[in-house]
Structure 1
Amino acid sequence: MLIFSRYNLVLLAVPKTGSTALEVALGQEADGRFGNPPEMKHLPLYRYNRFVRPLLQLTTGQDPETFALIREPISWLRSWYRYRARNSMALLPTSTCHISFDQFVREAMSDDPPPFAQVGCQTRFLSPGGSGGPITHLFQYEQMDLACKFLENRLELELDLPWLNQAAIGPAPLDPDLEAQYRKIHAGEFQLWQDASI
């Protein structure tokens, strides 16, 4: 999470949406930065509204606007799957090295996902909770050019994003019936993504 008090803007870091690249590109310009641990870096909107927003309102006298990216949900799952398939994670319980993408998605939809399939949900991350309003500026990850143009205009700078934490490229097919099931269960997430940055 990056705080730009001078510009009345807070960037929330939805996992697997280029947040590390944005942090590297903009971190030096930020007035406040939550980089570690991951629970702080990836503070969801409902926790921001409850804990951080009141502090910023008190110290700046303004109600900061919020910015986030959302990724097409199947692409988002595939990114998690590939990220956890790295050789360096092979012995960890979160590893996906020895399972198919179908199994990963099936387990992610279960009521009690195993560690390798615990990825949360973008809709939940972007839920305002009961302590504040919805996200102010939401852009599709797939339209990064629009998001960067917004940030450049708002923060009065030029952005050159380094692409970090990219998952290994490889085939990760998904059974059409399983995809249809996921789309039905997570219809709200697909709608939120579709409505972003229009």
Structure 2
Amino acid sequence: MSAQVMLAQARDHGVQLTGPVPPDTSRQAMAGEGFDISAFTIDWHAHTATCPQGATAGSWRAQQNSRGHDVIRIRFPDRTCAICPVRAKCTRRTSGPRDLVVRPQAEHQTLQRARHDQTTEEWKNHYHRRAGIEGTLPQTIRRPGLEVPPRPRRRQRRAGPPHRGQPGAPGTVGRRRSVNWGRSDQRADQRKMPATWSPAR
């Protein structure tokens, strides 16, 4: 799930999506050592950034990446990075400064917050609620007699009557799930949904 989708749902529908977001795939983040993007302090109003060693960026440029998305390239001074005692934790370059490529403020902050939240037990417990909802869908669809018929090739002006088993399906599934609630095999069949939602704060 992307930060753009999360922001769009909150803006257009007033809901807060909860779901896994892509991790930071930088070398520093993947290795668990060094300075990844979260180690830098970004001042959005002053259009600058500060590294863990206290150095301030010298360049801030808005541009687009190869996919046409708006990004901001932040570049630190050459001289500052050249004499940095912990340069190896920041970049593998033998020359040149550290560059940061970040998304616009709202997207960046949403993504960083989501990455942090999904590592907490509170987030995991909240997201796990979706498993029961996802488990209900296949149980309803797979009920004998409720298979979805193939779509007719020719457009019909009037929809036909509902399937004879459709009106009673919710009640039947509800009773069945209530009886089987305590069975471990039923819980094992529940699967996770990519995202769930709650009212936006």
TM-score, with structure 2 as normaliser: 0.20
Whose helix proportion is higher, 1 or 2? 1
Query: Which gives a bigger RCO, structure 1 or 2 (Cα 8 Å, sep 6+)?
Result: 1
TM-score, with structure 1 as normaliser: 0.20
Whose strand proportion is higher, 1 or 2? 2
Quick check: which has more Rg, 1 or 2?
2
